[in-house]
Structure formats: structure tokens, C-alpha cells
Amino acid sequence: MKTSENSLILAAQRGNLDAFNALVQIHQDMLYRIALRIVHDENLAEDAVQEALIHAFRHIRSFRGGNLKSWLARVTVNASYDELRRGKRHLGLPLEQFTNEGEEIESPEWMGDPAPGPEERAEMSELQRALHRCIKSLTPDYRLMVILVDMEGMSYEEAAEAARVPVGTVKSRLARARMQIRQSLRSYRTLLPSFYQRELTPAVF
């Protein structure tokens, strides 16, 4: 698979549009999800991905190896923020810079993407909407880490490359984002299974 991807990259760098399109097909769903979670609008997400892919094809020769998925994700993240900066939609919160302080915490199970049966879908959809609201309330830097790592399954290294920040910053922001989501979910405790309700209940000493 990696050899095939490398061959397609080399062909795309020589101007082969079919090879570039083949690469895009591998990653396009991920790119669209990233854009949609940043701009929260299907049309804007499509515009962002289109602009990202145009930019990627024009600059594919600048790709000097490494992780193509992270490189395309970075281009898509930039294009998505460009869509927001054009005034079509506003973040409402400033982009902030943080230090590498804070310890990494493991992703809790309730941040997964469950696949319930038909009888559970109504309840789960309400829980998913609540979780979506919690994630959307994060500052952009925190939310991006959740999108890349917890939602798209990128490694810390891949997320760091996509966001152009050190790996330590990825871990720090992700730990803080997960903690904020955990705190926000206390407002929706009744939607959670009983086990996780206990998990979100502060200990009494």
C-alpha cells in the first residue's frame, strides 16, 4: 500500500492528474470530515476541501516525503480556517497559544463513536448531539486536536505535523480538551450510561 502510494505521489509530482485523483480518493472522506468539523457548514466544507485539493495539486512537488495524510490534513485545516476568515462564518473565539504543561490523559471510552442497534439509536443520537455541543464549545486549538486525534484517529505525530505544532503541544491541548469535554458532559449526565455517570461524579472525601 505504501509503495503504491509513493508511486502515485511521484506520478502526481510529474503532473499526472489521474495519479493525484487516486491519492485524493484515499483521503477525501477524512479531509471532508475535518473541514466540516471546523466550519460546521456542508457547503463551506466542500469549498474548503476543493480549495485545499487545488492547492495540494499545485504544490505537490513541494512534498518531500513523510506522511501524505498529515500533509493533506494540514492543507485542509488551513483552507478551512481561510473560509472562516473570509467572513462566511466566524469562530467567535480567538486562536490561542499554549505551553506544553499538563499531563496526557487517555481518551475515555465515552468519546468513542458507538454503533448502537436500532432500538438504541434515538437515545444515542441525543447523546451524540450533546457531545457535539461540548466539542463545538472548545477553543479552536483544542477542538482541532480532538478532531485530528480522537475523531480521525491520527497519531500524536501525525496531528503535530497537520497542525504544525510540537508533539508535546498536541498532548497538552488534547489533555485539556478532554478534561473540558468531561466537565461539560456533567450537564448531560442523565444521557450517559450509569457507569459513566459515576465516572463524572466528583469524589467526596
Full residue range of the structural domain in which residue 128 is found? 109-193
Tell me: do 114 and 84 sit in the same domain: no
The CATH number that applies at residue 11 is: 1.10.1740.10
Tell me: do 73 and 123 sit in the same domain: no
Rounded Cα–Cα distance for residues 91 and 79 (Å): 14
Residue 48 has pLDDT above 50, yes or no: yes
What tens digit of pLDDT does each residue of 17-40 get?
999 999 999 999 999 999 999 998
Q: Which of 47, 34, 39, 42 is nearest to 81 (CA)?
A: 39
What tens digit of pLDDT does each residue of 54-90 get?
999 999 999 988 899 999 999 999 999 999 888 554 4
CA angle in degrees (0–180, nearest 5) for 166-172-174: 105
pLDDT in the model for residue 108: 46
pLDDT in the model for residue 85: 86
Tell me: do 139 and 189 sit in the same domain: yes
The CATH number that applies at residue 137 is: 1.10.10.10
pLDDT in the model for residue 28: 93
Q: Which of 125, 145, 126, 109 is nearest to 37 (CA)?
A: 145
If one counts the domains in the chain, the total is: 2
Rounded Cα–Cα distance for residues 108 and 163 (Å): 23
